A and B are shown apart, each in its own frame.
Chain A
Amino acid sequence: MLKIENLHAKVEDNDILKGLNIEVKAGEVHAIMGPNGAGKSTLASVVAGNENYEVTEGNIFLEGENIEDLSPDERAHKGVFLSFQYPVEIPGVTVTNFIKTAINAKRKANGLEDMPAAEMLKKIKEKSALLEIKKDFLSRSLNEGFSGGEKKRNEIFQMAMLEPKLAILDETDSGLDIDALRIVANGVNKLKSKDNAVIVITHYQRLLDYIIPDFVHVLADGKIIKSGGKELALELEEKGYDWLVK
Chain B
Amino acid sequence: MSKYTEDDLREELKTQEYEYGFYTYLDAETFPKGLNEDVIRAISLKKEEPEWMTEWRLDAFRKWEAMEEPEWANVRYEKPNFQDISYYSAPKQADPNKSLDDVDPELLEMYKKLGISVDEQKKLQNVAVDIVVDSVSVATTFKKTLNEKGIIFCPISEAIKEHPELVKKYMGSVVPKTDNFYAALNSAVFTDGSFCYIPKGVTCPMELSTYFRINEGGTGQFERTLVIADEGSFVSYLEGCTAPSRDENQLHAAVVELVAMDDAEIKYSTVQNWFPGDKNGKGGVYNFVTKRAVCETNAKVSWTQVETGSAVTWKYPSCILKGDNSTGEFYSIAVTNNYQQADTGTKMIHLGKNTKSTIISKGISAGHSHNSYRGLVKVNAKAENARNFSQCDSLLMGDLCGAHTFPYIEVKNKSAQIEHEATTSKIGEDQLFYCNQRGIDTEKAIALIVNGFSKDVLNKLPMEFAVEAQKLLEISLEGSVG
Contacts and interface: CB of A to CB of B under 8 A. Distances in A.
Nearest to B436: A72
Given A73-B439, A158-B438, A88 B452 contact: no
Interface string B3-43: 00111000000000000000000000000000000000000
Contacts, number: 83
B5 A104 contact: yes
Contacts of B444: 101, 105
A108 B433 CA distance: 19
Interface stretch (B80-88, B302-310, B424-432): B424-432
Contacts of B436: 49, 71-73, 76
Interface string B58-102: 000000000000000000000000000000000000000000000
A114 B7 contact: yes
Contacts of B5: 100, 104, 114
A106 interface: yes
Contact of B430 (A80, A88, A92, A102): A88
A91 interface: yes
Contacts of B449: 90, 93
B437 interface: yes
A145 to B, nearest CB: 14
A108 B448 contact: no
B258 to A, nearest CB: 29
Contact of B452 (A87, A90, A102): A90
A98 B434 CA distance: 11
In this complex, the interface size class of chain A, counting residues with CB under 8 Å from chain B, is: 35 or more
Contacts of A52: 429, 433
Contacts of B453: 91-92
Contact of A101 (B428, B429, B430, B448): B448
Given A92-B452, A114-B7, A102 B438 contact: yes
B440 interface: yes
A114 B436 CA distance: 18
A59 interface: no
Contact of B428 (A50, A51, A88): A88
Contact of A162 (B6, B430, B439): B439
A102 B429 contact: no
A200 to B, nearest CB: 17
B162 to A, nearest CB: 46
B456 interface: yes
Contacts of B385: none
A162 B436 CA distance: 13
A109 interface: yes
B194 interface: no
Interface string A63-92: 000000001110011001110100111111
Nearest to B458: A92
Nearest to A50: B433
Contacts of A227: none
Contact of A98 (B437, B442, B448): B448
A88 B439 contact: no
Given A72-B433, A88-B428, A93-B451, A105 B441 contact: yes
Interface in A34-55: 48-52
A169 to B, nearest CB: 13
Interface in B446-471: 448-449, 451-456
Contact of A102 (B433, B440, B442, B455): B440
Interface of A: 48-52, 71-73, 76-77, 80-82, 84, 87-93, 97-98, 100-102, 104-106, 108-109, 114, 141, 158, 162
Sorted nearest first, the 10 A-B pairs with minimum C-beta distance are: A92-B452, A93-B452, A76-B439, A72-B436, A102-B438, A92-B455, A106-B439, A73-B436, A105-B439, A88-B434
Interface of B: 5-7, 428-431, 433-442, 444, 448-449, 451-456
9 contacts: A71-B436, A73-B436, A77-B439, A81-B437, A97-B448, A98-B438, A102-B435, A104-B5, A105-B441
